[in-house]
Structure 1
Amino acid sequence: MYDVIDIVNHIILRANNNETPITNLLLQKILYYLNAEHLVRKGERLFSDKIEKWGYGPVIPVVYTEFKSKGAGLIDKPIDVLVDEKNHRDTDDKLFGSIYVRRFNDEVFTNEVDQKDLASINEITKKLLDAYSRNPFDLVEITHKEPMWANYEDKIKDHLNLAYSDEELNEYFGDGNKWPWD
């Protein structure tokens, strides 16, 4: 599994390098579909962070928190991450006692990620950005029609923050015919 914030930063860089707008809403949906595709393809999650069923569809709470100050605005740059010193790996990072700020390095990320995983991340991200960057609410509508969300709509509207399970994602997407980029 990969660090979700590293994946987020990679997606943000790709979007910005291609001059494609990306918002927190669109980012959430891209992460959801990347994780589902990885789960179906490899039998394991792409990242360990849970994906919850919220009013606007799937949300990774830790990612939402990082970008909620942007509101519906564009995300224009990768974010830094506070990390415990024992996981320190880059001398350009700034230490603060036992905590340091890890600056995202896309070259390091792309070299550390399995190349088949990276190709899949890049391909799906491109397809979703190309198709939905102008209207990410189309992806909200798509996720709302999926049974994993639709069957729990009343509970979701009561803000119960239910999590998507690997089993329901595998069951729904396992046939490979329900992706929003096909």
Structure 2
Amino acid sequence: MYNCFDIAKQFLKLANEENLGLEPMKLLKLTYIAQGWYLGFYDKPLFANNIEAWKYGPVIPDLYHVTKRFGSRNVDIETLELWSDNKLKSTDQDFIKAVWNVYKKYSGLDLSSITHMKDTPWYDSYEPNVSHKIIRNDIIRSHYKKLIDERRNQS
């Protein structure tokens, strides 16, 4: 299994290929969203790191603490090289690219709004004044499976 840095690094590679940058918020949200869709489609996590329900949304603390120093500036890929040690399988690279192609047009704030909606894993898990509340993978999986079913029923 990968770690969150492996996934985030792949998003940075894709952004660099298109001469785009990713600030920490957008990178965090993309990595979280990729985990959600992967759980929904494959019933297993894409990466092992915990996701927590913080006041301002779902956060992957390990990734947050490494990238927060960038503030609103773009994260450089070299920062993640120290933490990323797994080579992604081509099928997983393709999966991340599919997520990228859908969500790259959104800003970090847009993605944050998407992950804060009513009936999302964050919404169902967040408790004010509770620190380090983990959003369980089964809750994330259930939410994304529901989204997959809704999209299939629309077709």
TM-score (normalised: structure 2): 0.83
- Hey, which of these two has a bigger chunk of strand by percent? 1
Deviation at 1:126, TM superposition (A): 2.6
Deviations 1:93-116 (A, max 9, x none): xxxxxxxxx8x7xxx83xxx3322
Which residue identity lines up with residue 114 of structure 1 in the other structure?
K
1:116 aligns with 91
The change in CA–CA distance for 1:9 and 1:152 in structure 2 (over 3 A counts) is closer
Are 1:48 and 2:23 counterparts?
no
Deviations 1:52-97 (A, max 9, x none): 1112211111111111111121113332326xxxxxxxxxxxxxxx
Alignment gaps of 5+ in structure 1:
83-101
Q: Name the CA distance, whole Å, in 2 between partners of 1:162 and 1:20.
A: 33
Which residue identity lines up with residue 161 of structure 1 in the other structure?
H
Larger radius of gyration: 1
Are 1:151 and 2:124 counterparts?
yes
Which residue identity lines up with residue 97 of structure 2 in the other structure?
N
2:82 aligns with 81
The change in CA–CA distance for 1:152 and 1:45 in structure 2 (over 3 A counts) is closer
What aligned pairs does 1:130-169 form with structure 2 within 5 A after superposition? Answer: 131-132=105-106, 135-147=107-119, 148-153=121-126, 155=127, 157-169=128-140
Query: Is the contact made by 1:58 and 1:143 (CA closer than 8 Å) also made in structure 2?
Result: yes
Deviation at 1:161, TM superposition (A): 2.4
Deviations 1:114-133 (A, max 9, x none): 3222211111023211x21x
Alignment gaps of 5+ in structure 2:
none
Deviation at 1:13, TM superposition (A): 1.8
Aligned partner of residue 78 in structure 1, secondary structure: helix
Query: Is the contact made by 1:34 and 1:121 (CA closer than 8 Å) also made in structure 2?
Result: yes
Which residue identity lines up with residue 56 of structure 1 in the other structure?
Y
Q: Which has the higher contact order (CA 8 A, sep 6+)?
A: 2
Aligned partner of residue 77 in structure 2, secondary structure: coil
- Hey, which of these two has a bigger chunk of helix by percent? 2
Deviation at 1:146, TM superposition (A): 4.0
The change in CA–CA distance for 1:55 and 1:19 in structure 2 (over 3 A counts) is farther
- Alignment: residue pair count: 147
